[in-house]
Amino acid sequence: MISADSVLSGSFDYGEVARSVLIAIVASYAALDFLGRLTSARGRTRLAWLSGGAIAMGLGIWAMHFKGMLARRLPIPVEYHWPTVLASLLVAILASGVALYIASRQKMAPVEVLTGSVILGGGLLGMHYIGMAAMRLPAITHFSPVLVTCSILLAILFSAITLRLAFRLREETRWSGPRRLASATVIGVAVSAIHYTGLTAASFTPAPPPNLFHAVSISTLGNNGIVIATLTVLAAAIATSSVDRIQSEERLLLVIDTLPALVWSKSPDGSADFLNQRFLEYTGLSVEEGLGWGWMKEFHPEERAEEEWRAAFAAGKPFEREAQLRRADGAYRRFLLRAVPLRDKQGNISKWYGTSTDIEDLKRAEDELRQAQEDLARVTRVVAMGELASAIAHEVNQPLTAIVTNGNFCLRRLDSATWKPDELRAAIEEIVNDGTRASAVISRIRGLLMKASPNRTELDINRIIQDVNILLRNEFTRNRVSLRIELESDLPHVPGDPVQLQQVLINLVMNAIEAASSTTNGRPEILIRSARNRDGVLVQVQDSGPGVEPALVDRIFEPFFTTKPKGIGMGLSISYSIIESHGGQLSLESASHGALFQFTLPANGAVLS
Amino acid sequence: MSEPESIVFVVDDDPSVRSAIKRLIGSMGLQVELFGAAQEFLASKLPNVPSCLVLDIRLPGISGLSLQRQLAKANIHIPIIFITAHGDIPMTVRAMKAGAVEFLTKPFRDQDLLDAIQMALERDRTRRRQDAELAVLHERFKSLSPRESEVIGMVVSGMLNKQIAAQTGTAENTVKVHRSRAMEKMQANSLAELVKMIQRLQGSSRNEPP
């Protein structure tokens, strides 16, 4: 009989140890590989990857553990209670599942790391000690408290490291293969370390033969079978994972290339590192030409403001802008460019993603609609003008008819020998009265136009100028007249009717556009200035046109005076009255070298005349 | 002098224009009557002398163009000269199609107005003379007996006495008597003259507005 406290001396078979560590590393690699797929999967696929990963990883760890136990050689026969062995396998699979689940979540906070590592560590230890409990041998097992504690601490510590590593590695990037292998080695060695510490914690003293119910002995063949089976399962798992990865990459690439947009990604400074197939097809550039800052070449020369783009990327905010991009055949089409930055945990931009969508047709439709609206507005204006002209004609023609008829009467009577002064006097008196009446009609019409909308508010004249420029933007483009604006900031507000003042400005600017576009010498240009003057504000509209003939300068504000073939001569006259009613003055400041019209408006507090 | 030789009516809502036109036309020795609105003109009694109407288009109440329509409906054939401060082409076409003599835009040349007035009065005079002649013919035609007018109708349509006798079932001599009596009553000197008279009567009844 062997004495009860004589410890059985055992030895490790180092070949087996090495194989067990290898299995651990392969299992870790498979688990990490699965984790990548798991993270990008959604819904039911995700569950499939999770269970597959848990089985592969659990089986791997368990196989390593079992190999480890077998590697420890004892001078007594050892058998294993197989239901307990099975239980240990289940624990390994469960713990792996939990670990994979935690590592595949969106975020991993310290609390989750701690919980995760306790569960994973606990699982590993549970598997280990349950597995040890499956041993059926004629000996009593003693555990060294120090080493057991050590194994517990190691298990939790290594689980934490494993989770952190796994979480970082799940993003699938270019270097993920080698990095995954390195991490798998670390994890595999760590798991092995826990295991062998736990194993060394146990010592055996001889005892009567155990109950061998449900126990089996592991032959060399069985031993190798476990290794081969495990490795086969793991290899199959890794193969499945990578085939799926390739397929899903292809799917993703197909989606990106087929999207009805030019898709690109750029490094934080804005140089391109990916361009989709559609981008290359539209631009006709090769990948090499388009990458870096090559995409800049695609912009319309007038919009090729590289500095602005660099600034937009440097600002780091999602942005959106319209630009014209050159098609392979040289035609330019308008695009809507949108970009969003992807930030890392520190908040630094790691990449820009963006799309450019072709909006040419949309824009063209919009332009046509706007053109149609403008045409309609112009027609309405013309019709309204026609009605006004008709009303004016009627009102003015009545006294004129009387004047002409009476005048003719006088002439006829003077030609005859029998005229009497009294009859001529009566006719001439009527002529005078009707003349006065005609001029009153004109004043009345002007007054009528003035009274149309007496709607005074405190307004910012710069705002009115900008509104008018927006309204007339198409007129500038159509007539190829360029606009320069010099607005003095912080002008005092002036009381006025915004619609009437807009009308005055539109009138002056439309006249200026017409004048500027009528000359052939020099670039047609208009300058609109606003400035502070003595008791209010001052607005000037200057054009590069031929100016006003000296003979006409005095008559330019008269009603019905016009130099335009289709004009009715009311524009400047009405504008003059509007400014006058605002207490300001409209004047022609310079008639040579282009016309310079100017109006003043008194600020609040200044006396309204 | 009880009845004037001719008269010019002027309808215009503008008193200055009215008085100036009166002065001008009056200086030509024509009688002028002024109205401020279409209703006033319709309410007045028109003397039976050659006359014409100088009519403004834009009037308060009934406009010049609708006054023209109303007069035509009432079978009053006074020639109209339109004057307007602001006329357009469709308006002119409408007025002229409805029988206006002239369409003048204010302010008009005095000679144009006077010429138009002369033309209008001349037209009215001719119409009046023709109307009077027609009235006489009507009177004469009405004095025929039924048989005489039946025979006359057949004569005018070119039938011979023999044919007429066969158709009416009378003797040829009886037809001859009817015929010569009718010619006498109509005061026609020849068959050709009789045919012309009957045609005029038929034409006037056909031209009469419904």
Nearest C-alpha in B relative to A392: B86
Answer yes or no: do A398 and B85 touch at CB < 8 A.
yes
- pLDDT tens-digit readout, A166-198: 777 766 555 567 777 888 888 888 888 888 888
Q: Quick check: A1 pLDDT over 70?
A: no
Query: For residue range A76-117, what is the model confidence (pLDDT) as tens digits?
Result: 777 888 888 888 888 888 888 888 888 887 777 888 888 888
**Cis peptide leading into residue A495 (ω within 30°):** no
CA atoms within 13 A on the CB side of A78: 23
CA–CA separation, A461 vs A443, rounded Å?
28
Q: Do B14 and A402 touch (CB under 8 A)?
A: yes
A335 membership: H or E segment, kind and range: strand A332-343
- Which of B166, B173, B132 has the alpha carbon at shortest distance from B48? B132
Give mean pLDDT, residues A431-456. 74
Q: Tell me which of A132-141, A168-177, A372-381, B138-147 is least confident.
A: A168-177
Residues 6+ apart with CB under 8 A from A423: A413, B23
The whole-number pLDDT of residue A357 equals 92
3-state secondary structure A474-509: HHHHHHCCEEEEEECCCCCCEEECHHHHHHHHHHHH
pLDDT at B208: 44
Closest Cα to residue A540, out of A595, A471, A582, A492? Answer: A595
Of B20, B86, B107, the CB nearest to A430: B20
User: Would you say residue A367 has pLDDT above 60?
Assistant: yes
A413 in B contact zone (CB under 8 Å): yes
If you search the block for the tokens 């009545």, which residue do you land on?
A398
**What pTM did the predictor assign?**
0.43
Which of B84, B86, B113 would you mutate first to test chain A, the one with the most A CBs within 10 A?
A: B86
What would the mean pLDDT of A131-137 be, rounded to a whole number? 82
Q: What is the average per-residue pLDDT within A581-596?
A: 86
A401 to chain B, any CB pair closer than 8 A? The answer is yes
Q: Give contacts of B110 with chain A, Cβ < 8 Å.
A: 404-405, 408-409, 412
Asked if A405 lies within 8 A of B23 by C-beta distance, the reply is yes
Q: What's the rounded mean pLDDT across residues B44-50?
A: 89
Residue in chain B lying closest to A435 (CA) = B16
β A525-533/A536-543 pair status: antiparallel
Q: Do A427 and B106 touch (CB under 8 A)?
A: no
Q: Residue B176 class from Cβ within 10 Å (0-12 exposed, 13-18 middle, 19+ buried)? A: middle
The 10 Å Cβ neighbour count of residue A256 is 17
- How many other CB atoms sit within 10 Å of the CB of residue A183? 21
pLDDT value of residue B8 = 95
Q: What is the pLDDT of residue A406?
A: 94
A388 touches chain B (CB under 8 A): no
Q: Are strands B80-84 and B51-56 parallel, antiparallel or unpaired?
A: parallel
Phi/psi of residue A72, nearest 5 degrees: -85, 115
Q: What is the mean pLDDT of residues A328-354?
A: 87
Q: Give the tens place of pLDDT for each residue, B13-41.
A: 889 999 999 999 998 889 999 999 999 99
Q: What is the pLDDT of residues A223-245, one digit of tens each?
A: 777 777 777 877 887 788 778 77
**Ranges of H-type helices in A134-213:** 145-169, 176-200
> Which residue from A394, A402, A430 is facing B58, i.e. has the nearest CB?
A394
ipTM, two decimals: 0.74
Q: Quick check: A430 and B83 CB within 8 A?
A: no
What's the pLDDT band for A607 if we cut at 50, 70, 90? very low
Of A128, A133, A14, which is closest to residue A73 (Cα–Cα)? Answer: A14
Is the per-residue pLDDT at A54 higher than 70? yes
Asked if the Cβ–Cβ distance from B23 to A433 is below 8 Å, we say: no
pLDDT for position A431: 94
Q: How close does chain A come to B19, measured CA to CA in Å?
A: 8
- Which residue type is seen at A24? A
Phi-psi region of A498 (alpha: psi -120 to 50; beta: other; left: phi over 0): alpha
Helix axes of B15-26 and A421-451: crossing angle, nearest 10 degrees: 150
Q: Residue B176 is which amino acid?
A: K
Q: What is the pLDDT of residue B209?
A: 38
Per-residue CA distances from A569 to A170, A277, A558 (Å): 78, 60, 8
Query: Is there a contact between A405 and B20 if contact means CB atoms under 8 Å apart?
Result: yes
**B59 interaction partners in chain A (CB closer than 8 Å):** none
